[in-house]
Chains A and B, each alone.
Chain A
Amino acid sequence: MNFPHTIWRRLRSRWQHGDVKREVDEELRFHLEQRTAENIAAGMSPDEGAREARKRFGNLQSVREECRDRKGASFGETLIQDVRFGLRMLRKNPGFTTVAALTLALGIGLNTAILSVAYGVLWRPLPYPNPDRLVIVASAQQTETGVKTFWTWAPVTYDALRPRVTTLDQLAAYNSIDAQLAGRGEPLQLQALEVSPNFFATLGVKPARGRAFLTGAGAPDDDRTVIVTDRLWRTSLNADPAIVGQSISIDGVPRTVVGVLPSDFSFRPVVRIGALPEPDIFLSNRWPGDTGRNAFLFLLGSLKSGVMRERAEAELTALVNDPLIAPVGALAPEGVFAPNVRTLVRAVGLQDYGTQSVRKLLLILLGAVSFVLLIACVNVANLQMARLTARRGELSVRMALGAGRQRIVRQLLTESVVLSLLGASLGVILARIAIDVALPFVPPFLLPRLGGIVIDARVMAFCLGLSLVSSLLIGLLPALRVSGAAFGEGLALHAGAARTTGDRQGDRQGERLRTLLVAAQIAMTLVLLIGAGLLIHSFVRLTSVSPGFALSGRDGVVQTVKVTLPERLYDKPERIHAFARGGLDRIQNLPGVKSASLINSPPFGMPFIRDEFGIEGQPKPTLDAGQPKIAAGYFKTMGIPLLAGRDFTARDTAEAPKVAIVSERIARAYFPGGPGGALGRRVRLGDRGEWLTVVGVVADIRQMGLDGDVQPMIYVPFQQERGFVLRFVTFVVRTATPASVVRGIRAEIRRAAPDLPIESTVTMDEAVAASVAQPRFRMLLLVLFAMTATLIATCGIYGLMAYAVTQRRREIGVRMALGAQRRDVLRLVLTRALRIVVAGLIVGLAGAAGVTRMLRTFLFGVTPTDPIAFTIVTLLLMAVGLMAAWLPARRAAKTDSMEALRSE
């Protein structure tokens, strides 16, 4: 009979018990009457025929019971009995129940927490009507090493593609910028997104108040309107219900609020280095004046219904390769793509694109917590096995009384399900607490879509599934043991009496299995611990890298204060110079300031512009160089050693001869004679810039992070620069009292520019720490999981050895009676534990050598088979294993031989 039918029959019987009983009785009566009629037809008298029929049928009650049983009449009742008995057993063994439920809760809780994060980030559908149809359009080229992708486009290319593409419903463009809100209390630095007017139509989102941007030709929205998020509307615009139609000042320009987005709206722009914060405002733009080849727009498309991505990619590829349509040379900056190689277009799902930076990490974390759950299940299975030995009497009595093995297995599995559900309930609570406590500490740039992380019905369903899988894992081995030949109903005859050879044989089998399980736990724990060890070693290596400038020390810390000068008010370099000069003069005189300077692109911050450069009389260098604009005193403040020449001074003004200071890497690469050889030589930025005389050489620094190479630099005096990059001003101050200095700087900036918001105030220590936040985050998580696994595995070893010592108490008593010393007993137990641990470690080492390759992209300065991490972690786990066995071993060594011999 097929399985669904059986289930249906049993379910039906649960509700229609009376019907089944009646049905069986009627069926039996029918067969009896048939047989009687046949007998009468064969010549018997009616009485004789009926008697013969009954005789042929045998014990009618037995047949009736058997039929009912086969029809499943008692399934529901026995299930309830099993559940009730399971609960009673759990209540009667609070020690076991607590340990098992907590162990499972840890495993299931960690899995639930990480899955809710992974689901919320990677798989929860984006909050738009047709999230699967949204794609980010990128250009790409097939190279020898793989596909090289370039994500942004020039406005001219966008304008060429948008009206021509037929496979997309909409093609929108966006660009992330900074903006400032003024006139509504404290000036605010905002995240803004410049978007094409059809941006919201592409997403399929309508504002909750007001309207979206007008998309028609010649629409009057450009440069004068703004759409705000619900968050900004509530926090900074006082949730004014009449905000639509009002004007707010953005970057000093009045803009009319035309819409407020729904509260659940979310759009997280992602750039190469990670996710940016959610925008606060959206500004309509068509980039009408931008006809250059600068590619800075992200393109967001909405596939037409029924159109596959491949079709859209093919169409867009054809369009961008048509020189009559797409402007030649505007696809990517020079040098990004190889000439004479066809440019392809990729349409990457918006969700995949937005989460690709964390996908691998989250999948690895999911794998790690699966290991923890597996270890937890193995531990509880082991406890169940030990308990099974204690329950042999009860189970064999059940068997003797007629319970089939299937029935016993069902009972054990039901008990496991009850236990798992208890563990799962606790696990969900733990997961909830973990998420509530931990998420606020996770910087938004580490995980995109933080808001999507909740324990909802899907996660709960997963948790339920997990608990059922766990119950199978923890119930299966005991169930298999029950099915084994050594575990027989015949034991009932001996239950409560002296143990037999069969009992001992069964015990030995059980113990072997338990030993195997503990060794497996050790192996899995070692894999996790080595993973954590590798990340720790990698983190230590990373944080021991010098950034090239002095962090906190006896001179205090380097405090930075960043502002972005709005283009409308600071459209001339002279204004910016005046602001910078005036601000710096006042800041240098603040109490507590040891030295102060400014830079437009501080290390470990944004923006950072790297470009080619030239050296007079030399071929074009192959290196690109960072080109920060700095004021005098920058190197002193930052603690960057001056290796040759001089620092910039106040005399390096716009009118003075143009000068530059190069970093050691450039000096050594291009100027023979070391740092001194660069002095007096001339360099220029880009390939057409003015020649600048090198007046100094400074030590190298790491600009973008500790894991990057040192960055070649050409420093230029702030006062000699005239480009737009000057608008990004970061004051740097060496001080021992950063808090009061920041207050002073704030006051000075407010005095100079009342509407100018402070964008950030961090110390360089904090900036460096933030740059390693992601490695620290994944290291801490993996360490947490590995510690949990170690704790569980330690309990496993302890439990096994404690149980073995109890089982072998008499043997130990005999040994001691025969002259064994305490240290002999200690050695006996510890040697056994060591064998199990070493067996687990060997398997674990082999497993780790394979599994840790997945961590390769997260490692810095260490290989996935780093001998230091492997050795230390292995020895550590061995020591932990022996420590766990030490207590039972000590107890065994204290055995009173006479008492042990009398006890059995």
Chain B
Amino acid sequence: MINRHREDTIAAIITPLGVGAVSVIRVSGAGSFQATDSIFVGKGKIANSKSHTVHYGKIVDEKENKIDDVLVSLFRSPHSYTGEDCVEISTHGNPFIAKKILQLLLQKEVRQAEPGEFTKRAFLNNKIDLIQAEAVADVINSRTEASLLGARNQLDGLLSQKIEGLRSMLINASSFVELELDFAEENLVFIGYEELQQKIDRILTEINDLLSTYSFGRVIRDGVNVALVGKPNVGKSSLLNYILKESRAIVSHIPGTTRDVIREEVSIDGVLFRLYDTAGIRNSENEIEREGVTRSREAVKNADIVLFINDVEQGFSNEIYSELKNLTNSDRIILILNKIDKGLKNNLKEGIPISAKTGQGIDALFKALKQKVFINSNYTEKSAIIANFRHYQCLKKTKEYLLNAKESLKNKLSGEFVALDLRNAENSLSEIIGVVTSDDILNNIFTKFCIGK
């Protein structure tokens, strides 16, 4: 441990601020037991207790006034999240109570933790590696179950394993090239260009698969943007309200950030959806409306899914539909036919029939939404997914280099040019997990081939 940190004790509320069942304050550092004892009244001193024990008692202020009944969990170094002496105080979920307790702590040789500082200390104390640290940030930021799944997945090293596998495929391909360059005088049968190309193609296929999980990975991490579009009075707002009611898990309500695009966040079966209720997207003469149109169009462009709502009374709007297809990929559009409680008229066949009034067909709509999210993802709990932008970029770089290598092969350039891009590809891949060495290639050569005069 770096000494500087030993003297320094930090604390923060580690549960989201809001009304929940409990709030937790974490204290970490050499002074955490002492600081806790100075505001805690229980059966004994925290400082004298064993690691991994839980203590009931009360927190009192400087005038011995009780703030709240709490549970204190203690973890002794190095067996804690941060690797330091660590205390977690669970209080009732009133934000004022948690804040008050934190303030009391901050008066005792404890300072407010910076964002991510617990994880940084965990990392510095060798409790977690870089990829895990990134995953922890994702766990903390994940707001739904599916998202949590992705982050856990990564914590468990699925992604690391996958990358390691790709890397050894690359090293294998490189060693064939290097062999030909460094052992020019040996009468070895070298790998043919075609075979090498096949090896590279196989790696590229895997990388493409992994890259394709990113949109899904990002979605389960950050949420799915859904735009509700339709003529006035087709029932967009009623549908939105019904979904909010039905899902029962309103994550947040952001009222009228703009006058015309209303955003709500809901969780449906563990996937976070961000719903945008748009005004019109057709051009208007009215200046005020025009502003709304611009915003709505923006929302459609940014949406992962567009719910295009028609109703049985007004019929299918071809104008809006063609407008939509200009703004977004038609795969992203889900057609909805609302107000079926009023009876089906006009031979309308397009769209999922629903009634925002009675709730009829809403399950089918939810199913369609989820299907759009999980489509092409082949996602199971066992698959590695890319949810982190840095990882995504490294993989894209890797792919670029591999395409360069293929280009060199196609142009019949000699091995060292192919090798350059293979090595670059390996470096980019290794940046994800953090190992770079040319020794691996040579080791592979030595074990596989008979070389040396």
Co-complex (A, B): no
B interface list, Cβ under 8 A from A: none
